[in-house]
């Protein structure tokens, strides 16, 4: 069974530039999560989708971050404009449905903002 | 105060040792609990779910104490390959909130 796919794996940009990350969850998984993990910290949930609807985006900095999950499958996370403090690994995860299900993570995108 | 707190460690133990980690949570509405393992520069992977009755998987035992609002992970007979960061995860059904702890680093040495 294919896992969660993410691209790109690495991205280096300058501050104030824009960047987008892509995630393809495990087939059939209704719930998709985007996390930000800063070095030395645990993953922080940015946004959670149930199919193509947003369930929780309370920690998403909406002035610069946006995310969408069209058709309830793939998802993109965008940062515009990027700040130095956005340097982190952005992890995408998916689960079958309810919050009690196991989350499967993709390999992440390592973002460096210079 | 953070909603989910873990001792960051690091825990440095010799092979064969028994080591235990605790994780405390502050929201009594928390419904489900997990331990994930994260190797250096890798993604987190589920280690085990934590049930009210406790559960065991080989050398690993997880327990939940709802009254005191903490979960624990016990690793017996530590192996070099157990070296990793162990993340505590707490979910709340209301609002579907998922919260990760900052992780506890474990180093097992020969």
Give per-residue pLDDT as tens, A40-58: 899 999 999 998 899 889 9
Which residues are B73's β-sheet partners? B21, B62
> 3-class SS at B18?
coil
**Interface residues from chain A to B (CB-CB < 8 Å):** 33, 35, 40-45, 48, 50, 55-56, 91, 99-100, 102-108
Q: Cα dihedral sign for A34, A66, A98, A72?
A: negative
Smallest CA–CA distance from B101 into chain A, residue: A42
A42/chain B closest Cα distance in angstroms: 4
pLDDT, tens digit (0-9, with 9 covering 90-100), for B20-77: 999 999 988 888 899 999 999 999 999 999 988 889 999 999 999 999 999 999 999 9
Whether the CB of B45 is below 8 Å from some CB of chain A: the reply is yes
Burial per residue of A32-47, b for 16 or more beta-carbon CB atoms within 10 angstroms, e otherwise: bbbbbbeeeebbbbbb
For residues A3-20, average pLDDT: 97
**Looking at residues A107-114, what average pLDDT do you find?**
97
Alpha helices, DSSP H, located in B6-109: none
């Amino acid at each position: 069974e294919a896992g969660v796919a993410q691209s790109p794996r690495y991205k280096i940009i300058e501050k104030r530039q824009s960047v987008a990350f892509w995630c393809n969850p495990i087939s059939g998984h209704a719930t998709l999560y985007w996390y930000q993990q800063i070095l030395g910290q645990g993953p922080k949930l940015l946004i959670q989708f149930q199919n193509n609807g947003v369930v929780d985006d309370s920690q998403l900095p909406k002035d610069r971050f946006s995310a969408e999950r069209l058709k309830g499958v793939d998802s993109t996370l965008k940062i515009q404009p990027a700040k130095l403090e956005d340097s982190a690994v952005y992890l995408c995860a998916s689960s079958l449905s309810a919050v009690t299900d196991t989350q499967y993570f993709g390999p992440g995108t390592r973002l460096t903002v210079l | 105060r953070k909603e989910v707190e873990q001792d960051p460690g690091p825990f440095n133990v010799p092979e064969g040792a028994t080591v235990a980690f605790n994780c405390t949570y502050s929201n009594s509405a928390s419904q489900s609990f997990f331990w994930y393992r994260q190797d250096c520069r890798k993604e987190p992977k589920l280690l085990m779910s934590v049930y009210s009755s406790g559960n065991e998987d080989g050398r690993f035992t997880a327990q939940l104490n709802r009254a005191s609002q903490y979960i624990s992970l016990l690793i017996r007979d530590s192996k070099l390959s157990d070296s990793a960061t162990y993340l505590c995860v707490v979910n709340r059904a209301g609002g579907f909130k998922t919260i990760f702890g900052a992780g506890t680093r474990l180093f097992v040495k020969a």
